[in-house]
Amino acid sequence: MEVQNRNWGGFTTKAEEARNLSLELTNRLKDPQRVKQIVTAPGNLSILGGHPWDDAALAAGYPGIILLFAEWDRQCPDEGWDLVAHSHLLALQEGLRTGGYYNMSMFCGLAGAAFAVMSASRNGTRYTGFLTELNERIADGVWTALNEIKHTETEGEGVSPTDYDVVMGLTGTGRYLLEIKHSDKAALSLTGILEYLVQLTYPIEVEGYTVPGWYVPQKHQFTEESKRKYPHGSFNCGLSHGIPGPLALMSLALQKGVEVKGQRDAIRRASNWLIEYAEMGEHGLFWPSAVSFEQETVHDGVSEQTRDAWCYGTAGVARSLFLAGKSLQDDSLCQWGIRGFDSIFSRTEEQWNLDGPTFCHGLSGLLQLTVRMAQDVDEERFLGYIERLLHSIMRYYEPESPLGFRDLEIMNGIDKAGLLDGTAGIALLLLSLSSTTEPIWDYPFLIA
């Protein structure tokens, strides 16, 4: 089967309903001060105990909301959405000024802030000074980060996901640089990132075994639970923090004509490894969240199906394999991606194990991934998948809540405004479903 892109639009029969709800949610986010007050209210605490807000973070701050107003402005340029975006941009500038150090990452640092400003710049005609400053800091910061990695990562000891991943690492930064590759300085920094990611796919020696270079030792596991579960380390399989992220960036860069030595072979190595760990369970094809050191070296242990989300599980992995297939013009890789999505929709919603309506670990992420697949594959059954997901998301709408939806990381839900786990991400998804203009807001997720 040949991959054929369809024109954007026509994904749902509920386009008008989706657009109306997106508008209703967007209006709730207009006032930057009010939004921050809601999210930082005394009782609105995340599972980690803090407020789910950071002024300058794309994940949970003004940049994600700016993306929403920028997308409305792209579609309705005469309705004043640019002025609303500007008020949030001023709040972002203040947050950057007073918030201390921000790294170069997409979801927690300067790359995400810059991506939001770029989106609101009306094709680079506005905020040129601000963007130039951010772009300079990011391009220079990449080399600082690469040098730090070089000096802190001892050969044979593996890596930290925060060095390379989509959320906090250089893969996310690279996705922004890919959008500004017309700048010589940005292009050079992007080349540095791609060379690092290619190197990441080379095998290394750990405890006498030859293993993939993206090996994460126990000390770099994110949680105490993971440290107990993986005493000898693991290989992260999530799009958010694992090898599918670098695979997606290398593939997207190749599609856009950016290639470094060894990039095609690196795409092939990462893809083949992911295919090796595809599992056929009782409910179809799936990928685990991680592969243990023991599974990789002595084939001891079994994979557990976790969730079908953007961050971890089959959806993110399948999309990265599909992108790899597109970049290498390898239909067999694309078919792995398609099979992954078909398996997801052979399961029940309960078996997806998703946490409510939001993007990262919820229904919105799975839906936007499915929309991107529907655009690329152009097969009728994907439209059915979209309708099923949209119906599920609509059920979570709470008109009496301050922001319309709640993130369900805790039992009663929590009010979040941002892109990753909040209302802005849901509103952007709904707007895109009702549009005939292909979006750019989902680029940070490395799915397009």
Per-residue pLDDT tens listing for the chain (448 residues) = 344 566 899 999 999 999 999 999 999 999 999 999 999 999 999 988 899 999 999 999 999 999 999 999 999 999 999 999 999 999 999 999 998 889 999 999 999 999 999 999 999 999 999 999 999 999 999 999 999 998 887 766 899 999 999 999 999 999 999 999 999 999 999 999 999 999 999 999 999 999 999 999 999 999 999 999 999 999 999 999 999 999 999 999 999 999 999 999 999 999 999 999 999 988 899 999 999 999 999 988 777 778 999 999 999 999 999 999 999 999 999 999 999 999 999 999 999 999 999 999 999 999 999 999 999 998 999 999 999 999 999 999 999 999 999 999 777 799 999 999 999 999 999 999 999 999 999 999 999 9
Does a structural domain hold residue 2?
no
In a domain, 6, yes or no: no
The reported pLDDT for the residue numbered 2 is 42
Could you please report the per-residue DSSP string of 278-340? Answer: -EEETTEEE--SEEEHHHHHH--S------BSSSSBHHHHHHHHHHHHHHHT-HHHHHHHHHH
CATH code of the domain containing 122: 1.50.10.20
C-alpha to C-alpha distances, 185 to 138, 168, 181, nearest whole angstrom: 10, 21, 8
What is the Cα 149 distance to its own chain's centre?
A: 22
With respect to residue 105, please indicate whether it lies within any of the assigned structural domains.
yes
Residue 299 assigned as binding residue: no
In a domain, 337, yes or no: yes
* DSSP reduced 3-state for 197: helix
What per-residue confidence (pLDDT) applies to 289?
96
Q: Is 361 labelled as part of a ligand binding site? A: yes
What pLDDT is stored for residue 1 in this prediction? 36
Task: Output the pLDDT for position 155.
Answer: 67
pLDDT of amino acid 362: 98
In the block, which residue shows the tokens 């991606």? 337
The answer to the question of residue 5 being in a domain is: no
Its pTM stands at: 0.97
Cα dihedral 61, 89, 166, 134 in deg (nearest 10): -140
The reply to whether 415 falls in a domain is: yes
Residue 36 is encoded by which pair of tokens?
Answer: 């921050």
- Is 4 among the domain residues? no
Helix or strand holding residue 152 (H, E): helix 128-152
How many structural domains does the chain have? 1
Tokens of 225: 């639970």
* β-sheet bridge partners, residue 281: 284
Instruction: Give the residue from 271, 390, 278 showing the smallest Cα distance to 334.
Output: 271
- Token pair for residue 114? 């810059």
Whose tokens are 């999530």? That residue is 238
d(CA 207, CA 240): 27
Q: 151 is in which domain, residue-wise?
A: 11-445
Residue 52 near residue 358 (C-beta atoms within 8 A): no
Give the Cα separation of 246 and 170 in Å (integer): 9
Helical packing angle, 170-179 and 110-119, nearest 10°: 30
CA–CA separation, 43 and 66 (whole Å): 26
Q: Which residue has the tokens 């300085």?
A: 185
Q: How far, CA to CA in Å, does 139 sit from each of 144, 191, 204, 299, 441?
A: 9, 11, 29, 41, 21
Judge whether 429 lies within some domain: yes
pLDDT tens for each residue of 274-309: 999 999 988 899 999 999 999 999 988 777 778 999
360 annotated to bind ligand? yes
Helix or strand (DSSP H, E) at 234: strand 234-236
